Amino acid sequence: MAEPAAMETEMTCREAMRAALRESIIDDDRVVLMGEDVGAYGGCFAVSSGLFDELGSERIIDTPLSELGFVGAGIGAALGGMRPIVEIMTGNFSLLALDQIVNTAATLRHMSGGQLGVPIVIRLATGGGRQLAAQHSHSFDGWFGHIPGIKVWSPGVAEDFRWMLSAALADPDPVLIFEHVGLYGRSGPVGARSDAGDPERAVIRRPGRDLSLITFGGTLPMVLDAATELFGDGVDAEVVDLRCLRPLDTSTMVESVRRTHRAVIIDEGWRSGGISAEVSARLAEHCFYDLDAPIGRVCSREVPMPYPAHLEAAALPSVERIVEAARAAMDATVVVETW
């Protein structure tokens, strides 16, 4: 049995997830990791590198290139008493498995009158910024946040990469963990599991008085950078890390905005009908009379993700755009993005 980290250590998000996978598989005979190239190749993003040699082909299972098939197999394994961790190489490919996720995993507990649960964990790499173009770079985190019956978690720091997996395996229902590819190489402190807290609660990553910057996952580091830049200009921004898109932790974001009276939401997904729209609506519902500015949003431009580096950078949220939106909020105005 692997020992949990006793003291706070520094590790990358990739190392943190690898440690979590290894620990889970060693600790529980029912846990397996399955997906495309997770075994011999070590994972497309090298997350499971080394685990195949250590743990063997019965616990680290390479699957055919068929998302619908191997997600369905994972659901069957979960129904049969296993605790499968299914890796989908990128969130973009999850669309091939939508039927299994949305029509089967999310519904069986309800349709069986509570007799059947699907304790599956699906890990998905998500997001852009690596010049992988329009079929490998989109963020569908918010889409899945729309669906009752599943849970959608989004780690933004190494600590959450380290501890969300075991919490997901302990959940009796399907949990999707969206891991932003831009975070794998970033490092951060990782403490004991108890420090990470409930994965379904939003966390204030930086307290501030003047406005709330609300985000999750891959955009968290740039939002923290933007907060630092704003602080230099005399604007004290609070950064709220949602961590979980379903169920959405309404009270933490609402309490933050009730203190600051201004909000800007940062989401790498598209703006129209995205999770940023849901967050904005909840703020309007719960703290309209506490607002001192229109609610601002910084999202990806409404285009298929471009391949050229400069166009991709222009399409994604950036520190510059976040700072601009925050300044507009301080002036009680809003930057309305038109594309």
Partner 1 sequence: MVSATDFAMPSLGADMDDGVIVEWLIEPGDRVSRGQVVAVVETDKSEIEVEIFQDARVEELLVPAGVRVAVGTPIARLGGVVGAESTTAASQRQGSITSPVLRRLADRLDVDQAMLVGSGAGGRVRRDDLMAAVATRPQRRLTPRARRLAAEGGVDPSSLPGDSVITGADIEDVSARGVEVRDRGSHGPAVSDPVAETDPMRARIASLMERSWAEIPHFHISDRIDLTEMLDRLEVHNSRVGPAGRVLPAAVLLCAVARAARRVPAVNGWWIDGAFEAAAAVDLAVVVARRGGGIIAPTIGSADELGIVEMMEQLNGVVGRARAQRLRTTDTAPASLTVTNLGDLGAETVHGVILAPQVALVGFGAIREHVVAVDGLIGVRPMVSATITGDHRSFDGLVAARFLGQIAAEIVPVIAGLDTARSVSDRIDDLGGDLVEERR
CB of 284 to partner 1, least distance (A): 9
Nearest Cα to Cα of residue 300 among 207, 180, 184: 180
Q: Which DSSP string do the residues of 82-120 spell out, in sequence order?
A: -EEEEEESSGGGGGGGHIIIIIIITTHHHHTTTS-----
Interface of this chain with partner 1, residues 240 to 279, rule: CB under 8 A: 261
Q: Report residue 297: phi and psi, to 5°.
A: -140, 140
Q: For residue 327, state whether it binds partner 1 (rule: CB under 8 A).
A: no
Strand blocks (E) in 217-313: 237-241, 244-246, 263-270, 296-300
Residue 2 neighbours by CB under 8 Å, 6+ apart? 22, 23, 26, 27
Query: Which span sits near partner 1 by CB under 8 A: 105-113, 264-272, 301-309, 327-335?
Result: 327-335
Q: For residue 339, state whether it binds partner 1 (rule: CB under 8 A).
A: no
Is 135 or 333 the residue whose CB approaches partner 1 more closely?
A: 333
* Count of positions on this chain that bind partner 1 (CB under 8 A): 10
Is 38 or 325 the residue whose CB approaches partner 1 more closely?
A: 325
What's the CA gap between 288 and 286, in Å, rounded? 6
Q: Find out whether 145 and 278 touch, Cβ atoms under 8 Å.
A: yes
Q: For residue 332, state whether it binds partner 1 (rule: CB under 8 A).
A: yes
Per CB under 8 A, the list member of 13, 55, 277, 291 interacting with partner 1 is 291
Specify whether 67 is catalytic: yes
Specify whether 255 is catalytic: no
Catalytic residue, chosen from 15, 67, 238, 278, is: 67
CB of 330 to partner 1, least distance (A): 9
Q: For residue 336, state whether it binds partner 1 (rule: CB under 8 A).
A: no
Residue 249, class by beta-carbon neighbours within 10 Å (0-12 exposed, 13-18 middle, 19+ buried)? Answer: middle
Applying CB under 8 A, the residues found at the interface with partner 1 are 261, 288-293, 331-333
User: Which residues carry out catalysis?
Assistant: 67, 136
